[in-house]
Amino acid sequence: MHGNDGACGKAIVPSTLGTCVRTLDTCQGFLSLREDFRKARAFFASVDGHERGVAMFCEHCGSKFEDGGKFCTSCGAPRPVAQPPADMTTPIPVPNTAQPSFDTAAPPAAEPHITADIPPVYVPQDFVVQDPPQSAEVARKKPVWLFVTLAVLALALCAFVGWRMWSDSHAESQAVAEFSKETVEVDEKTDGGDSSDKALSATEKDKDTKKEEPQPCTAVPELITKQVRRDGSNLVATVQWNASSCENAPLKSDGVQIVLTDSSNDTIAAGIFDFSKRDVSYKDGKLTTELAFKPTQYWRAVTELEPSRLDTSVKFDQEGFGRAADVNGAFGARDIDPSDAERYAHLALNWQLDHDKSTASDFYSIYTTQLSSKRYDMDVEGKIWKYADIYEHFLSLKSKHPQALIVWGSDYPTYTKHGHDASYYVILSGESFASETDATNWCGANGYTANDCLAVDLK
């Protein structure tokens, strides 16, 4: 009798019938125990594989299934879904590990008989029941779930700390607001609730904290023209302002009309000035300014003005026309109403004709040069000439030639002797020449052409 397991794997030497029977019973017990261990191993493997829904070891031969394999590579049995064996509910018998003795030298005294009791079974020393191996997938799952749980707990802790900080801050803000409200209510009750005694607004407080700026003086001053001079074709007047009530107040006014008149009450100069853009202030009620008038804003030659005989007046909040242009530090003026300027120019032309008549009589016997000849509404040189244009032209020429004068053409034979209409304002240079040739040469020397300058006498 031969076998592959334990004692049954050795050749049995016949001895006595009792010895053989005991040996046979021992082999049968070992085989039964091995079957029980195989079932236990399959059960534990099924418990481990139950989490993944498959068996890990073959229930027929006990071999481990390969990952993903559907059949046992040892016996070919199909791989079932892991279920706990039904017969494992009964306890597994614990074998007797005592090793039997096989004595062939001396037979027993009496013939043994076969009994139903299971004799002790031989168990190999290297046969050890081990815990079923844990799957790699389950081993990986445990750390992942551990990290996820820790992360969730950390987030929850941060959220709780943030909520507590916000809650504390909000509670503190509400407490401050309640305290401020109560303070205001107490203050209102203390002063009797009178709205006129309430605290100043933020804007009013800012105004109080700032240095209060001095208010402009609105008193009407007395103006005195101290000096007049010519700056190119412009008239510059030095005017003193006297207003004791203004003390050291600034002059911050726009639309200030200043008018200069002569002893006959004829308007000599007029313009609208703006004093709001410069730092101009009274000092002990006195102020001095330089005022510039361009040729369209004054109607008398500067050389013919006497400051002591001029009267200077001022009006506030007046409307100006055109643009102002300062002249070498002097305040420039805007134009007055054009209709008033035209009227003042006509009066100035008439005054100038009367004033220059005596001087013009000198040119009956000697030559001078004619620079211009214009009449009202004359369309020449690109425009229709008005009184203001004619007088402005006269003042411009006089600024170049201080001896210039203006005459009425119809009053002198040289313009009427050929029967032509001589109703013109004629401007003469006022320069004296012994001959016509000398006068003509003067025209060329001063840059005039034959159309602009010619030699004349008035006889």
Considering the domain architecture, whether residues 441 and 353 belong to the same structural domain is answered as yes
308: Cα within 13 Å, side-chain hemisphere? 0
Is 268 a domain residue? yes
Is 6 a domain residue? yes
Q: Are 267 and 259 in contact (CB under 8 A)?
A: yes
Say what the pLDDT of residue 235 is: 95
Task: Please list the pLDDT of the chain residue by residue as tens digits (459 residues).
Answer: 444 444 444 444 444 445 544 555 555 655 565 666 566 565 555 544 544 555 677 877 877 777 777 778 778 778 776 555 444 444 444 445 444 444 444 444 444 444 444 445 444 455 454 555 555 554 455 566 677 778 788 888 877 777 777 777 666 666 555 655 555 454 555 455 454 444 445 555 555 545 567 788 888 999 999 999 999 889 999 999 999 999 999 988 899 999 999 999 999 999 999 998 888 899 999 999 999 999 999 999 999 999 999 999 999 999 999 999 899 989 999 999 999 999 999 999 999 999 999 999 999 989 999 999 999 999 999 999 999 999 999 999 999 999 999 999 999 999 998 888 999 999 999 999 999 999 999 999 999 999 899 999 998
Considering the domain architecture, whether residues 17 and 122 belong to the same structural domain is answered as yes
Considering the domain architecture, whether residues 281 and 368 belong to the same structural domain is answered as no
Structure tokens at 33: 């125990």
Considering the domain architecture, whether residues 142 and 87 belong to the same structural domain is answered as no
pLDDT digits (tens, 9 = 90+) for 237-262: 999 999 999 999 998 889 999 999 99
Our count of domains for the chain comes to 4
Which residues neighbour 325 within 8 Å (Cβ) at sequence distance 6 or greater? 292, 294, 332
Is 156 a domain residue? yes
Q: Tokens 């369309």 appear where?
A: 379
Which residue, of 305, 336, 367, is where some domain finishes?
336
Give pTM, 2 decimals.
0.54
Considering the domain architecture, whether residues 316 and 358 belong to the same structural domain is answered as no
Which residue, of 134, 150, 166, is where some domain finishes?
134
Say what the pLDDT of residue 97 is: 46
Say what the pLDDT of residue 13 is: 43
DSSP conformation letters of 357-415: HHHHGGGGSSBEEEEEEE-TT-EETTEE--HHHHHHHHHHHHHH-TT-EEEEGGGSHHH
Q: Are 392 and 398 in contact (CB under 8 A)?
A: no
- Provide the residue range defining the domain that includes 284: 222-336
Considering the domain architecture, whether residues 324 and 277 belong to the same structural domain is answered as yes
Q: How far apart are CA 344 and CA 342, in angstroms?
A: 6
